[in-house]
Structure 1
């Protein structure tokens, strides 16, 4: 009988190096067996030659002490998470009781602390989550507070030693992308959006944005007819399974009397500028507002006139909008502040540089809204307020539209489109547009929409 030798791991390695005719097979199996059984394990060493002596190796491995591990786990502090919903007639005591909280100090803190006491305003069905130790002492408590007039917040109460601290922070909402399709069956857009075709109606706020997006091409009071249809992709924000608010429309498509109109929201990740574009990358936004403020009347147009102060007959190179002092003045288009300050007869004045060689000027302001040269402004942003500074006989806004620094009548340029996308922006837009076009293709005719969550 062949002898059996016991080797240590070190001697085994030595054996492998000295015997070139011997090879070890099943090494993985050997290791697995040793780890699995923790006792005497043997593995044969096969031979390349029938005359080579077969050697078996055995090694004793100690099993882990399970009793020590269990004891260590039992010494750790145990923590428990409980979740409940507010019920009708709940008090602080009953809510905490159902949450497994047996902590008079926590109850007293919630009743006495101004912020923590807001838990009492939670409506039925709202969720609370508590963390306790094994004795029922409160470690932390969380609840979401919602208000129609503000964004939802998360109220957190945390134990710090023998005291508690309450804090409030914006709630983390779940963003979803909804896809809906509808067909006009009775010439009413709102009736179509109320139809429970795919599990829910389309919010009125989304319908209103659809009208704004396509109103330059479609008269929604008279152009709609049966058989028209539209697709819309929009954001919704949820909290604890409940809809909190709708977000932006990401894309829309409207087929009216056989003609198709599309709009895709694109915000360039580099410039952070956003707007709606057609699928070929053309902006759907007009370059400039028709008026930089809500005015009561035009007191002087772009024409020759008798100057109200000098009495001379001369060209009036802008449009005067009569409005009460303090009326907000808005930037007619996206641009950069080229001048903000006092300019002789213009009084308090702001000049904005826009894309290409366009610029706009706003004069006689009562005050400028904190602008400095070089600052970026967006269309519709309040840049100042109506006044009567400089050579002025009454509160009004003097508005000039300039091309290459030459004043032009803005009414002749009313159809001017916004700045086109640059090559880099256009490349990024095409990727976004391709995704939205794919979503349109998923919305089947007849209003059988699919939802992507």
Structure 2
């Protein structure tokens, strides 16, 4: 009875022994298998290195020289027209020694335009080793949007000349300046073209009277388009953005030309408000007030009477601009006014421009005029002791002091137009921030104000 339990115990022990033995055997087999698979590092001492030497055939130096000598060599030269330049002098500087080409340029109507190029015009020429002309090229600049390229080309023993329209390269230039004496002196110091200076006056003319409001130390920033042809400056274009600080007050403007709007383009503040007021502060760009709106002794009649307008002293021939949009009600001679123009505007308002030397071409009664259009030129016709413009501002035919009238601005941008405008304004804000660090704070404040307006 005691043997059976003993037998069972031995049986369980032997089973465990067999399992352990099988596991050990399996691990041994895996170890040998891994050893068999592991790569064996070759003995590099048994490798042999064999050097191969091969002779390479190089091209003959003499043959290369002969090939180069057999080829036609062409040369390109560039120079600029000089004052009083002749064709012979220009051809000499360009390395052209070609009588046939010279005779063709002198005789051909199109090619002869080369002789009328303005000083500074760039001329390029290609010649062969003998100096014979292959082609001659120059750009004729006449102030138009599309300058012409004059090209003279050799075709064997003959020549041809053509005038080709060339596309212009558009660039954006940014400049800043400080007023020390006058606006034009400041723009000259900043190397800004006069056409851009005139646009500054037009852009800020409804907010700043450039004849009396400028202060020493006023400053401005401006970004404008320039057009180039073959690396040569052609002309300046439109001002894209401007900033003017006058007597501590900052005026900013961005040009916004919305193709989706029938109203066309215009200048707006960085917040989308229109820069255009209903009336200009002055019909003349640069002048001084010689007589204000007040009682005075008449310079000719000698009696004490009311001066119902403002006199702007200016040189004869100075352009006179319409103060606002309107329709010409009278153009002609009228007693002491001499040559006078009267324009009717909305709101029962009219403006008077007297003592003109002459009227603008094609100007007649019933003509529609826009703000800043030139309507005539300063003179001293009628009762005038010197050249000046007599300017009146009338409401219901009653004179009002034009210097004291508070006029509203045009409607601000709203809705989708305002959203499209902000894309343009933000780009110009970044440009001004790069132009002058002092403007960064002001532009950031403007951007924050715009953002608040957008969220509200």
Normalised-by-shorter TM-score class:
0.5 to 0.7
Match of 2:52, SS? strand
Match of 1:226, SS? coil
Residue equivalent to 2:272: 281
Residue equivalent to 2:212: 222
TM-score normalised by the chain length of structure 2: 0.53
Counterpart-to-counterpart distance in 2, 1:222 and 1:260: 17
Which among 106, 111, 116 is matched to residue 116 of structure 1? 111
Greater relative contact order (CA < 8 Å, ≥ 6 in sequence) = 1
Q: Offset of 1:417 from its aligned partner?
A: 1.0
Counterpart-to-counterpart distance in 2, 1:439 and 1:418: 27
> In structure 2, do the counterparts of structure 1 residues 433 and 87 end up closer, same or farther at CA, with 3 Å as the change threshold?
closer
Counterpart-to-counterpart distance in 2, 1:179 and 1:298: 38
Find out whether 1:210 has 2:200 as its counterpart: yes
Q: Offset of 1:141 from its aligned partner?
A: 0.5
Counterpart-to-counterpart distance in 1, 2:257 and 2:130: 53
Residue equivalent to 1:399: none
Find out whether 1:50 has 2:44 as its counterpart: yes
Match of 2:141, SS? strand
Q: Offset of 1:99 from its aligned partner?
A: 2.6
Find out whether 1:146 has 2:136 as its counterpart: no
Which among 147, 164, 167 is matched to residue 162 of structure 2? 167
Counterpart-to-counterpart distance in 2, 1:428 and 1:61: 68
Q: Offset of 1:215 from its aligned partner?
A: 2.4
Match of 1:55, SS? coil
Is contact 2:432–2:439 with CA below 8 Å preserved after alignment? no
**If each structure's helix is expressed as a fraction of its own residues, which one has the higher value?**
2
Residue equivalent to 1:362: none
Q: How does 1:185-200 map to 2 (within 5 A)?
A: 185-186=180-181, 188-194=182-188, 196=189, 200=191
Match of 2:217, SS? coil
Is contact 2:175–2:221 with CA below 8 Å preserved after alignment? yes
> In structure 2, do the counterparts of structure 1 residues 190 and 166 end up closer, same or farther at CA, with 3 Å as the change threshold?
same
Counterpart-to-counterpart distance in 2, 1:133 and 1:98: 15
For the pair shown, which has the larger CA radius of gyration, 1 or 2?
2
Counterpart-to-counterpart distance in 1, 2:169 and 2:364: 44
Counterpart-to-counterpart distance in 2, 1:88 and 1:284: 44
Is contact 2:122–2:232 with CA below 8 Å preserved after alignment? no
TM-score normalised by the chain length of structure 1: 0.53
Is contact 1:279–1:433 with CA below 8 Å preserved after alignment? no
> 1:299-355, CA deviations, whole angstroms, 9 ceiling, x for partnerless residues?
99999xxxxxxxxxxxxxxxxxxx958x665799xxxxxxxxxxxxxxxxxxxxxxx
Q: Offset of 1:114 from its aligned partner?
A: 0.4
Match of 1:56, SS? coil
Q: How does 1:129-144 map to 2 (within 5 A)?
A: 129-144=124-139
Which among 433, 438, 443 is matched to residue 433 of structure 2? 438
Is contact 1:81–1:129 with CA below 8 Å preserved after alignment? yes
Which among 34, 38, 59 is matched to residue 65 of structure 1? 59
Match of 2:216, SS? coil
Residue equivalent to 2:96: 101
Counterpart-to-counterpart distance in 1, 2:344 and 2:275: 31
Q: How does 1:318-397 map to 2 (within 5 A)?
A: none
> 1:415-438, CA deviations, whole angstroms, 9 ceiling, x for partnerless residues?
441543627514522442332332
> 1:186-223, CA deviations, whole angstroms, 9 ceiling, x for partnerless residues?
5x4344444x3x5x4x4332222112222222233333
> 1:49-85, CA deviations, whole angstroms, 9 ceiling, x for partnerless residues?
2354223353637344254544443333211112344
Counterpart-to-counterpart distance in 2, 1:257 and 1:87: 45
Q: Offset of 1:128 from its aligned partner?
A: 2.5
Find out whether 1:92 has 2:83 as its counterpart: no
Q: How does 1:406-445 map to 2 (within 5 A)?
A: 415-417=409-411, 419-420=413-414, 422=416, 425-426=420-421, 428-442=423-437
Structure 1: runs of 5+ lacking an equivalent: 1-20, 23-46, 304-322, 333-379, 381-412, 446-453
> In structure 2, do the counterparts of structure 1 residues 328 and 439 end up closer, same or farther at CA, with 3 Å as the change threshold?
farther
Q: How does 1:253-332 map to 2 (within 5 A)?
A: 253-267=243-257, 274-285=265-276, 291=325, 293-296=327-330
Q: Offset of 1:443 from its aligned partner?
A: 6.6
Counterpart-to-counterpart distance in 2, 1:106 and 1:300: 63
> 1:33-58, CA deviations, whole angstroms, 9 ceiling, x for partnerless residues?
xxxxxxxxxxxxxx952354223353
> In structure 2, do the counterparts of structure 1 residues 443 and 143 end up closer, same or farther at CA, with 3 Å as the change threshold?
farther
Counterpart-to-counterpart distance in 1, 2:421 and 2:251: 19
Is contact 2:222–2:241 with CA below 8 Å preserved after alignment? yes
> In structure 2, do the counterparts of structure 1 residues 148 and 247 end up closer, same or farther at CA, with 3 Å as the change threshold?
closer
Counterpart-to-counterpart distance in 2, 1:432 and 1:229: 21
Residue equivalent to 1:181: 176
